[in-house]
């Protein structure tokens, strides 16, 4: 075991395709992180089966059963600490986390969102991008703050909108980009190549691509 590997918890609410991408990436030899724990706020989340198949510890915490958001976040924080978690990845996790929780994990809590933020925060991003007539859409990985889909952007991948696109087709291509982007951003953070500075996320020069930014990363 490489002691330098960061211990990552992935929080999910559903399908878990981004979780799967993170599991697959961290399984690669030399990747500087491992998925040590998967937590779902829904017992029926399909991602839980992915974790089981991969032999990863799973935990279901249902806010309503625990008596509300404060109790949920207390239990969540305790479970993360007990498991020695270094970094949290939200991957289709659909509960707003409160300011206290977010502050406690500041710089160690990231999310993936299916748009080029700050455009199209919220839901139905693909339909809204089509309706707005943008020609480039995509996805963003960002540090989570107390806002919704806000917080310093770590990396983005652009996906062209095609003339005959519908929301499903566009979503499929964005999702493929999400899977590459999320593992690359996780790797950069674990290699200490991302720094929170003056309200932004600054990438080390070594992390930059030919275009000078983290965009459209090639698969590892
Ligand atoms: C996100 C934003 C809003 C809701 C759900 C998800 C995106 C990522 C995210 C999850 N938790 C977060 C974020 C975030 O960006 N910032 C913070 N926490 N602080 C949302 O509105 N969810 C509602 C419930 C939906 C449902 O259960 O169907 C809610 O009330 O939590
Ligand atoms: C992904 O497209 C992710 O970007 C999005 O939910 C989907 C989860 O899919 N997240 C958000 O919209 C957060 N604002 P997955 O469960 O297959 O990873």
Are residues 85 and 173 both part of a single domain?
A: no
Residue 60 pLDDT: 98
Are residues 94 and 119 both part of a single domain?
A: no
C-alpha radius of gyration, the chain, whole number: 17
Are residues 145 and 169 both part of a single domain?
A: yes
What distance in angstroms lies between residue 164's CA and the mean position of ligand 1's atoms?
Answer: 31
Residue 150 pLDDT: 94
Residue 74 pLDDT: 98
Residue nearest to atom 11 of ligand 2 (CA): 113
Whether the CB of 180 sits within 6 Å of ligand 2: no
Whether the CB of 113 sits within 6 Å of ligand 2: yes
What distance in angstroms lies between residue 155's CA and the mean position of ligand 1's atoms?
Answer: 20
Whether the CB of 215 sits within 6 Å of ligand 1: no
Are residues 94 and 118 both part of a single domain?
A: no
**Which atom of ligand 2 lies at the shortest distance from residue 12's CA?**
16
Are residues 117 and 75 both part of a single domain?
A: no
Whether the CB of 11 sits within 6 Å of ligand 1: no
Residue 219 pLDDT: 38
Are residues 51 and 144 both part of a single domain?
A: no
Are residues 48 and 94 both part of a single domain?
A: yes
Q: Are 180 and 217 in contact (CB under 8 A)?
A: yes
Are residues 60 and 126 both part of a single domain?
A: no
Task: Quote the tokens at residue 39.
Answer: 């937590």
Residue 202 pLDDT: 87
Angle among Cα 154, 159, 162 to the nearest 5 degrees reads: 160
- Burial class (CB within 10 angstroms; exposed 0-12, middle 13-18, buried 19+) of 113: buried
Q: Which domain holds residue 36?
A: 1-105
Residue 16 contacts by C-beta under 8 Å, 6 or more apart in sequence?
45, 46, 47, 48, 50, 51, 91, 92
Are residues 83 and 162 both part of a single domain?
A: no
Q: How many domains does the chain have?
A: 2
**Chain-centroid distance, C-alpha 45:** 16
Question: What CATH number did the domain enclosing 127 receive?
Answer: 3.40.50.170
Q: Is 113 annotated in the active site?
A: yes
Indicate yes or no: pTM above 0.85: yes
Are residues 90 and 117 both part of a single domain?
A: no
- Give the residue from 85, 105, 125 where a domain finishes: 105
Are residues 150 and 178 both part of a single domain?
A: yes
Reading the chain (220 residues) residue by residue, the pLDDT tens digits are: 555 899 999 999 999 999 999 999 999 999 999 999 999 999 999 999 999 999 999 999 999 999 999 999 999 999 999 999 999 999 999 999 999 999 999 999 999 999 999 999 999 999 999 999 999 999 999 999 999 999 999 999 999 999 999 999 999 999 999 999 999 999 999 999 998 988 899 888 777 665 444 555 543 3
Are residues 138 and 43 both part of a single domain?
A: no
């Amino acid at each position: 075991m490489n002691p330098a590997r960061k211990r990552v918890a992935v929080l999910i609410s559903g399908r878990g395709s981004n979780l799967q991408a993170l599991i697959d990436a961290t399984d690669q030899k030399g990747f500087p992180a491992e998925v040590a724990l998967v937590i779902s706020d829904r017992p029926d989340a399909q991602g839980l089966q992915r974790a089981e198949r991969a032999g990863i510890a799973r935990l279901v915490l249902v806010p309503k059963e625990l008596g509300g958001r404060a109790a949920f976040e207390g239990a969540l924080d305790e479970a993360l600490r007990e498991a020695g978690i270094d970094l949290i990845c939200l991957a289709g996790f659909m509960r707003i986390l409160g300011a206290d929780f977010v502050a406690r994990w500041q710089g160690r809590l990231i999310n993936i969102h299916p748009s080029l933020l700050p455009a199209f925060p919220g839901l139905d991003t693909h339909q809204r991008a089509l309706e707005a007539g943008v020609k480039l859409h995509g996805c963003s990985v960002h540090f989570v703050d107390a806002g919704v889909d806000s917080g310093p952007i770590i990396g983005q991948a652009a996906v062209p909108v095609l003339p005959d696109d519908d929301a499903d087709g566009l979503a499929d291509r964005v999702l493929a980009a999400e899977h590459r982007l999320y593992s690359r951003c996780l790797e950069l953070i674990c290699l200490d190549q991302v720094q929170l500075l003056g309200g932004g996320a600054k990438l080390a020069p070594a992390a930059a691509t030919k275009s000078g930014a983290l965009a459209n990363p090639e698969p590892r």
